[in-house]
Chain A
Amino acid sequence: MPSAASGAVAVTRALDALVRNDRGRLMSALIARLGSFQLAEDAFQDALVSAVSHWSRNGVPHSPQGWLLQAAYRKAIDRIRQNKSEARKVDDLRPLVRDEACDDPDEIPDERLRLIFTCCHPALETKSQVALTLRTIGGLSTTEIARVFLDADTTMGQRLSRAKAKIAAARIPYVVPGPDEWATRLQSVLAVIYLIYTSGYAAGPTDGRNLAEEALFLCRLLNRLHPDDPEIEGCLALLLITQARCHARVDADGVTVALAEQDRTKWNRAQIDEGLGLIDVAMQRRAPGPYQIKAAIAACHVQGEVSDWPQIVLLYDSLARLEPTAVVRLNRAVALMEAGWLEAASRSFDVLASVLNGYQPYHAARAELLSRLGHFAEASAAYAMAIDLTRLESDAAFLRRRAEYLAKLVGQSEQS
């Protein structure tokens, strides 16, 4: 016979799973109805609390999602009644009583596309966009998000509150942008997803939520909510192909392994194939964009036995036309070097010197170029610079290994 305690444990477990899987969708429906992020969040928390007591007594209802949504609406009405002056109550309650919440989970409207675009609105700071997306769509806790940014919980809590307050006060609309604005607004959504991915990639496997997986989840969701968009497909392909190599990028000693030296049997073939398939489909839509190009570059690394560097140079040329940033030009210079065009690469590095002086990958790549050119003293100075600027231990270990190898080479050439 189940005790009350074990019943409560079962309920908590059911709720945890539900929050993990359905929080984004329920929140998106709640915000659509209530017109307020903060009210939706508070009402949802209230509903979770009352679910614990109700479900422990009466068992988990046949549609837990519908139950939670209904409960959250009622809690929202309670909150409005408590907090608002008489005059405002009528107006605020009107949308709530318009139609009753449905209790069939299949009929709960999925408003997550609107929610994603609102969270990633360019009127919000990028960091807030990332945090809000992780919180409302991904369902991460404030503590988990604070850990991602190495912020204190309270700092992150304040950032989230400020973002929600700005959405309400400046009236950032809860809509999917129209065709005129779609392309630019989508780029800011994809930038947020990519930032989440790279944060996860840089952090490596941690004890918390895996952000790389979170980004993949978000991108898949976006692709499902808005199918047949070549840039979304491009972004998903890019994430899949990069993620496919995650087990090969660090060796047993925790040292980063250069792409050319990775054990290809450790690559996830299924993810690579899915990514390549997506690029093919996207390219056929004849609407090129930065994420498709980045995905194509990623594809050049995994098709065939070695990376196709001349092709990669050409792809970076096209990317530089769309995104004329110093980092893109650096990547192009690296591709020139890897293609064997050292003089051209060297000229590009010189041009970028002043802009990228504080950027670790610049010095790491320049060290490699200088050692290939035989300028060993300058190369080892560049390695020292790069190691100084490296935050990730696995990358620092990789660079130290290269620097030691270089020192050995120099020693040998001096002896002979």
Chain B
Amino acid sequence: MALAFRDFSARLQQRRAVLLATLALTIAATLPLQAQTAIPATERKKSMRYMLLIYGDPKLEPAYGTPEFEAMMGGFFALNEQMKADKVLVSGEGLQGVETATSVKLRGGKVETMDGPFAETREHLGGYYVVDVPDLDSALRYAAMVPSVAWGTVEVRPLMNYNPTEQ
């Protein structure tokens, strides 16, 4: 029993190592950026925030310890560095696997709690970046640099702007 658990936990860690590592890198990249986001108001109107939603089938991710895994990590690292250098990264996080997910909904006044994601899809949300860039084309350029586009999908969505004085 204990052995089985350790085995499972190791497997879990291996599979999630990617996104956890990404998360660590991202946080490191984000912290010094808070100061940089203080762009003058005239400049700010020109930029727009997009979320890059990183979807992928965990089965297709390269296995921990393989050269492909190293290449992917290198890719994430390079992208983080690039976004940092370009001063476009607002935030980014990696998510633990869907086996850790719990879905909640309210039906007939009753909270229903369920194991797992609500939809049975092969591609799951694994993490995200928020970038602050001039237009969709620039956001798409960063999306194409996310290493997992080679086997998954990155969905690019503009964020809502709740400030009525800004476009």
Binding site for B on A (CB under 8 A): 85, 87-88, 91-92, 121, 123, 169-173, 175, 177, 181
Which of B22-30, B80-88, B135-143 lies at the binding interface? B135-143
B45, B137, B167: residue with the most chain A Cβ atoms closer than 10 Å: B137
A20 to B137, CA, bound (A): 31
A87 to B41, CA, bound (A): 14
Q: Is the CB of B167 within 8 A of A170?
A: no
Q: Is the CB of B137 within 8 A of A177?
A: yes
B48 interface residue per 8 A CB criterion = yes
Interface band, chain B? 10 to 19
Q: Which of B134, B140, B164 contacts A87 (CB 8 A)?
A: B164
Chain A: minimal CB distance from B47 (Å): 10
A177 to B138, CA, bound (A): 11
Q: Is the CB of A171 within 8 A of B164?
A: no
Q: Which of B135, B164, B167 contacts A172 (CB 8 A)?
A: B135
Which residues of A are found within 8 Å of B158, using beta-carbon distances? Answer: 169-171
Q: Is the CB of A173 within 8 A of B167?
A: no
B165 interface residue per 8 A CB criterion = yes
Q: Is the CB of A173 within 8 A of B134?
A: yes
B48, B134, B140, B156: residue with the most chain A Cβ atoms closer than 10 Å: B140
Which residues of A are found within 8 Å of B136, using beta-carbon distances? Answer: 121, 123, 170-173
Q: Is the CB of B167 within 8 A of A88?
A: yes
10 A-B pairs with the lowest CB-CB distances in the bound complex, closest first: A173-B135, A87-B165, A171-B135, A172-B136, A170-B136, A171-B48, A170-B158, A173-B137, A171-B136, A123-B136
Q: Is the CB of A181 within 8 A of B45?
A: no
Chain B: minimal CB distance from A174 (Å): 9
Q: Is the CB of B48 within 8 A of A88?
A: no
SS of A interface (majority): loop
A173 to B158, CA, bound (A): 13
Residues 33 to 83 of chain B near chain A (Cβ within 8 Å):
45, 48
A160 to B156, CA, bound (A): 21
A119 to B105, CA, bound (A): 40
Which residues of A are found within 8 Å of B45, using beta-carbon distances? Answer: 91
Q: Which of A88, A121, A172, A175 contacts B165 (CB 8 A)?
A: A88
SS of B interface (majority): mixed
A356 to B135, CA, bound (A): 39
Total A-B contacts with CB atoms under 8 angstroms apart: 33
Which residues of B are found within 8 Å of A121, using beta-carbon distances? Answer: 136
Binding site for A on B (CB under 8 A): 45, 48, 134-137, 140, 156-158, 164-165, 167
A172 to B137, CA, bound (A): 7
Which residues of B are found within 8 Å of A91, using beta-carbon distances? Answer: 45, 167
> Can you give 23 A-B contacts (C-beta < 8 A)?
A87-B164, A87-B165, A88-B165, A88-B167, A91-B45, A91-B167, A92-B167, A123-B140, A170-B156, A170-B157, A170-B158, A171-B134, A171-B135, A171-B136, A172-B136, A172-B137, A173-B134, A173-B135, A173-B136, A173-B137, A175-B137, A177-B137, A181-B137
A85 to B166, CA, bound (A): 11
A175 to B137, CA, bound (A): 10
Chain B: minimal CB distance from A7 (Å): 43
A85 with B135: in contact, given A123-B140, A169-B158 (CB under 8 Å)?
no
Chain B: minimal CB distance from A66 (Å): 29
Which residues of A are found within 8 Å of B167, using beta-carbon distances? Answer: 88, 91-92
Chain B: minimal CB distance from A147 (Å): 31
A177 to B140, CA, bound (A): 13
A374 to B134, CA, bound (A): 64
Which residues of B are found within 8 Å of A171, using beta-carbon distances? Answer: 48, 134-136, 158
A398 to B135, CA, bound (A): 51
Chain A: minimal CB distance from B124 (Å): 23
Which residues of B are found within 8 Å of A172, using beta-carbon distances? Answer: 135-137
Which residues of B are found within 8 Å of A92, using beta-carbon distances? Answer: 167
A170 to B167, CA, bound (A): 12
A123 to B156, CA, bound (A): 10
* A92 closest partner in B (C-beta): B167
Chain A: minimal CB distance from B19 (Å): 26
Chain A: minimal CB distance from B37 (Å): 18
Chain B: minimal CB distance from A106 (Å): 31
A107 to B45, CA, bound (A): 30
Chain B: minimal CB distance from A411 (Å): 55
* A177 closest partner in B (C-beta): B137
